[in-house]
Homo-oligomer: A and B are copies of this chain.
Amino acid sequence: MPQKRRKRADERREDIMAAAERVFAERGYRAGSLAAIAEAVGISKQTLLHHFQTKEDLLVCVLERRDLRNLEIVADLGLTTEAMARLVDFNLDWRGLVHSYTVLSAESVAEDHPAHEFFTARYDRSRHELADNLRAEHGDRLPGGLTPEQAAPLIIAVNDGLQLQWLLNPRGVAISELFRAFLATLVPGEPSART
């Protein structure tokens, strides 16, 4: 493929992912149709399917794209508890994307689901990377008493679990405050944590 044509294809993929992120954010995964995404980009559904074979493929790419953006936020701050708390705040502006993420991660538990490998690998990687970073920051025990290998899956679980409660009742669940209160039990005395 000539270089110029490849560049156009990359840009088109990027346009589609940006539109998909908006459509999934506004309507959720199930109601957000490929036709609506194609229309937002100004292409036919057939052209969209040339770039992404299925709706699930497209969502996995959108989620990977979001992960890369999250990693940039974390990289700027270092993977501190403060960075994790900011990620929680950041996601509050993207209710539809949190929604589609929550639905797809649950659906993906089925072994024949198209995103099963993505989510299994993503959680394994997240647990290991977070544990490694907590170990580099705090050693074998966090100040609150947990090991890095205990704290990492618990931090991820609290984030996912609070997002579900918040999606069901946005006014009834103060997700940022609760997440910081939780971090304060893991790392007492850190300024970001105590509410």
Identify the A interface with B (CB < 8 A).
Answer: 28, 30-31, 99, 102-103, 105-110, 116, 119-120, 123-124, 127, 144-146, 150, 153-154, 156-162, 164-165, 167-169, 172-173, 177-178, 181-182, 184-186, 188, 195
Q: Within the oligomer, what is the number of copies of this chain?
A: 2
CB contact between A157 and one of B103, B162, B184 (< 8 Å): that residue: B162
Return the 8 tightest CB-CB contacts between A and B, nearest first: A157-B161, A106-B106, A161-B161, A160-B161, A109-B167, A150-B181, A157-B162, A185-B185
Report A14 CB to chain B, min CB distance, Å. 28
Interface of A is mostly: helix
Contact (A154, B178) CB under 8 Å given A146-B185, A160-B161, A186-B185: yes
Contact (A119, B168) CB under 8 Å given A106-B105, A186-B185: yes
Contact between chains at A164 and B110 (CB < 8 Å): no
CA distance A150 to B195 in the complex (A): 10
